[in-house]
Structure 1
């Protein structure tokens, strides 16, 4: 037993000598020294001393951006700014519209006075009853117009649409360049719109005045003494030897008859009263009448073009609607 104790003390002495602890140092100091050295050895290395530590992020090479000069934009054509339109601002719409209205008035200054002064076609001699006994047609015409008797046509006598049931008459005052021509068909079965479609197809294959007069006919857009009607304004057109004139074309069906009336208004006068009076009195066999309403578009066209003839516009100017735009 004593021998074993001696061996143990010898081993402990050699072990303390190897660790650098001088003899006589107590065990407590040995323990503290051991833990102190352990803490020093296990301290996390700093980034400055260990550049490849796992906790340091991998450096990323950021490409160097080279700034290049942007190409110069193509210069746009300069425009005159609208009124009250500064840089970066929206235009004042009220001011813009006012400027447009003023500009329009200035453009129309040379023609506004004749249009405003355009009077109704004078009916100094008053009105009279006009009657076609063969078909029982009657209407009011200016008293100073001269009549051409109603004439019927047989097939192949005249290249006219549905000539087998066709008749024509006219009345005018040629000294004033105004008058009406009546084309009348006895038509029992065909309604107005199919009749107009057939008439337009026929007219498309014709020459001179027929192709020009009938092709603009629209759908039913008006009323003639209580009967549906199609009315169109046909601008002045040069027919060569047949002359040059503007016309208002009316197609309506009253009872068993289709009436196509070509009205040539008196130049430089508002034709509204004359046309309205004639259409309001148009009847056949005393059939009850009613309202007469000429399409607004037609009324505006015939007033404008008739009255502007006082300004002595050329034909290409009258047909170019751009002169009436602001």
Structure 2
């Protein structure tokens, strides 16, 4: 299955029988190149540039239950179209809502948490092996804590309290995990605990920034998959918040951690990447920050974006598609039990 993206201005989408005709303008020559794609091979269409879309193409999307999503230039969705008649998406959504407080929702929560913990354990294991006998003891302690959390998560009985207990299990390992990451860093970049919104040290500020980029990729896939991004399984519902995105980013975090670490361990990160004691822009839209907040400078942002695109983006979106497909299969299977 294919995701069709219209990301250059002047693109077009038309219908020719049971095919889409995609027109993309070559920015260098100004010529429009056309490509025909069978509708049966299209899973979703993402439009992130000024484009012309025919009503017949929209109708083909609705006939084939293909998600048609509008996004801004960085790929963050802001609107979508779907059929006004019941179809597969209606079935998926109905099953998703029914599963939120059911055993099926617990199964999905457990899978997401287990995948995250496996990723964390794999990263710490690699850090330990790469350092041999000279590995800091915090890495061993972190690995032991994550493995213990994985065992607890795997054997935790199903109940109404599973999600809250799972948060406690994961949280108990998180402090040891981040202590291990800190111990792996050169002395000047070590930190004391995880800090969010804002980060209070360069590593946490960088991590927050890369997680933020990851949210956009996960949100895009969640919407394209047909799931409701505002109905999560693991995180509590919060009005106006895409809590399913919060669920789906969890297994992705270790991959982002892994991509960020070498920038610090190989001493590429520089003080010029960070603005320390940042207090926000009192004349702008940015909210005031704590006095010890660290902000990423334009040079730092540029490098982090480059690393994300090269090492994280494609795999994150591919893996999130697989998770969304698995969740959909689990939901539909649970609804038919």
Tell me the TM-score normalised to structure 2 length. Answer: 0.23
Tell me the TM-score normalised to structure 1 length. Answer: 0.24
Q: As a proportion of its length, which structure holds more strand?
A: 1
Choose 1 or 2 for highest CA Rg.
1
